[in-house]
Amino acid sequence: MRRPLVAGNWKMHGTHSSVAELIKGLRQLALPSGVDVAVMPPCLFISQVIQGLAGKAIDVGAQNSAVEPMQGALTGETAPSQLADVGCSMVLVGHSERRLILGESDEVVSRKFAAAQSCGLVPVLCVGETRAEREAGKTLEVVARQLGSVIDELGVGAFARAVVAYEPVWAIGTGLTASPAQAQEVHAAIRAQLAAENAELAKGVRLLYGGSVKAASAAELFGMPDIDGGLVGGASLNADEFGAICRAAGS
């Protein structure tokens, strides 16, 4: 069976001292043994978090990495090989804030996915529709295009060591969570798209839901058959709330 994963995306939040406080809170959490837990701090604080969480069963990931795998002349970017070197195990790819605010295309997303994977990082591919796309009845089409572009470029086999996160843009940071049924519908479609290429592989791919996940809504979402955990933004900045979400994934 798929092991649940809960990852906290801290986005562009934190200072040296607030990160130290959050590490202290995370260290004190009682975490369920059957759930993988990860946090994704801003790049600047990754080493601080890795050192601060040493010995605690929480993985550390990054929120973005470069299109090229190895270090070199690419000002302002971080190579996935550098992230692996400091101890990161995963990286978000194609978060909607990067697609929509920074104009990251499907092509760039595929390149980042491949570069990250070639360095041993697990890419967490983020997909999801905007409110206008949902209202136009295009949700499944948009998500299928975003996922399909990576499958077309890299082959479905790339998903043997990857995670997919469905994050409806209208639910991110808005307090509007997709209903468990709305989320399940899209998760089932994602799994079916993977299964159309390789049924056995599709059964093992972890699909996370993200978008205003809170402790109060987590258990019901994670109880759906194709939802294998969460990608948590705002609520992951509060250690106790994040711990409660992790425990919901273990119940």
Among 94, 211, 229, 243, binds ligand 13P (CB under 6 A): 211
Is 97 an active-site residue?
no
| Residue 95: active-site member | yes
Question: Catalytic pick from 95, 97, 129, 187?
Answer: 95
CA distance 188 to 186: 5
**Shortest gap between Cβ of 213 and ligand 13P (angstroms)?**
5
Residue carrying the six token digits 């519908």: 185
Report the candidate in 48, 124, 64, 234 with the shortest Cα–Cα distance to residue 245: 234
Pairing of strands 36-40, 5-9: parallel
List 4, 5, 9, 59, residue binding ligand 13P (CB under 6 A): 9
116 binds ligand 13P (CB under 6 A): no
Residue count of the chain: 251
Q: Decide: is 167 part of the binding site for ligand 13P (CB under 6 A).
A: yes
List the one residue from 172, 194, 224, 227 that touches ligand 13P (CB under 6 A): 172
Q: What residues between 222 and 241 interact with ligand 13P by CB under 6 A?
A: 231-235
Distance CA 188, CA 209 (A): 12
Hey, what are 196's tokens?
């159309």
* Listed residue (105, 112, 104) closest to 83, CA to CA: 112
- Catalytic positions, please? 95, 167
- Under the rule (CB under 6 A), what is the footprint of ligand 13P? 9, 95, 167, 172-173, 210-213, 231-235
